[in-house]
Amino acid sequence: MAELQFFTGTMDSGKSTLALQTNHNHAARGRSGRIFTTHDRTGQAQVSSRLGLTHDAIEVEADFDFWRYVVDSLTQGARIDYLVCDEAQFYTRKQIDQLAKLVDELQIDVFAFGILTDFRTALFEGSQRLVELADRMNVLQVEALCWCGKRATHNARTENGVMVTEGEVIVVGDVEEQERGPAGDANVAYEVLCRQHHRRHLTAARAKAVSLAPEPLPFG
Ligand SMILES: [Zn+2]
């Protein structure tokens, strides 16, 4: 029986690495798959992991139709046993519905990988629908760590070094690779934090500044 599986974790928990490993394992068994992503950290249509692995992928635009794509491919004689879907948090509700339909109607396995909640601590649209529909949910066991050493469970966004909890949901970037925000004037970066430090807006940089300050600052 085919399944819709959702693998989730914070940034830095190794989702893209596992997506590529999953593809490798199934391909090694002679199965035929397709890899999808959207807004990858490299800005190209490929799945790239922080460990340096990359694989070409099909870019999922907002109007991309998974059902149409697979049916057209099968009609043209292609064989598709499974789909690997990275950055699935950015997919639309409708696209997740299409993935579930492919599992049920065409017995195609779908392995979706994505972050659960955004920097405002709200569920991403794609992730919400996956939680609602997935046959199985897997929380990644590689734990990302907050600067304090605790398990990082929340994603923080900083703009010009200041943590924000409001704004457009989709701005792609890395902590290491700062890039221009939607307004074009802010340096947007992401960082994983434990819940307590997310709640207190205490990023690694701010914690460092606080530890270097002569007087403890009243935060909280
Ligand atoms: Zn912490």
The DSSP code sequence of 145-190 is: B-TTSSBP-EEEEEETTEEES-S-S-----SSS-EE-TTSSSEEEE
pTM of the predicted model over 0.75: yes
What is the separation of C-alpha 201 from the centre of its chain, rounded to a whole number of angstroms?
A: 22
Rounded Cα gap, residues 127 and 158, in angstroms:
22
Q: Which residues pair with 36 in a beta bridge?
A: 58, 85
Half-sphere exposure of 132 (CA within 13 A, CB side): 13
Per-residue pLDDT of the chain in tens (220 residues, 90 and over written 9): 999 999 998 887 888 899 999 999 999 999 999 999 998 666 678 888 877 888 999 999 999 999 999 999 999 999 999 999 999 999 999 999 999 999 999 999 999 999 999 999 999 999 999 999 999 999 887 678 899 999 888 999 998 888 998 887 765 554 444 444 444 557 888 899 999 999 999 999 998 888 887 766 666 5
Quick one: three-class SS letters along 58-92? EECCCCCCHHHHHHHHHHCCCCCCEEEECCHHHCC
Distance 139 CA to ligand 1 centre (A): 20
Q: Are 125 and 172 in contact (CB under 8 A)?
A: no
| Active centre residues (catalytic) | 87
The pLDDT value given to residue 48: 83
Distance 194 CA to ligand 1 centre (A): 4
Burial of 111 (0-12, 13-18, 19+ CB in 10 A): buried
Distance 144 CA to ligand 1 centre (A): 11
Distance 26 CA to ligand 1 centre (A): 37
